[in-house]
Amino acid sequence: MREHQYTLELPHSAARLWALFQDYDHWADYAPMVKRVDVLWAGDEHHNGRLRRVIYKMPFGREGAALELVHDVEPGVGYTYTMISREPGNDQTGKVRLEPIGSHQTRLHFEERYHLTKAPWRWFEGPIYRFINRQNEASMRAASAWLDGHPEYRADLAA
């Protein structure tokens, strides 16, 4: 099993970041690998139980799809997701947590656990996971840059 955790300080309010992370129509605007997100089941009023399909770019012009269940939502603070695999034991889990550290500063905590059980994928788990980690971190930095370039987006949540 691979585990990756990182923390970034971002120059935006937690509320504004939360709004962007819940706005699936904009994920493809900042996440380098995401093509689109389809909400298959909305979940409750806080998005607990939300089922989403993330369509993402793969090498050589291919595309992949990840089925993700969102749970343990703390509105405005964070959530956990489980990427549901066709193969038992291959589920990937992740957490996003926002910690306000100032009026326009947020510490983002991200963690993900990844485990492949079948050959030949298991043999390449390390390189695959390093690639995914770089993309996840790039997506979070790009979300912040996207907000920098769109000051009108949820300006009501800027402070």
- How far the first Cα of the chain sits from its last, in Å, is 39
pLDDT score for 4: 81
The 3-state DSSP class for residue 62 equals coil
Average of pLDDT values for 23-29?
A: 96
Kind plus residue range of the DSSP H or E element containing 39: strand 34-41
Question: What residue type is 96 in one-letter code?
Answer: V
* Residue-wise pLDDT tens digits, 38-89: 999 999 999 999 999 999 987 788 898 989 999 999 999 999 999 988 777 7
Q: Give the global pTM.
A: 0.88
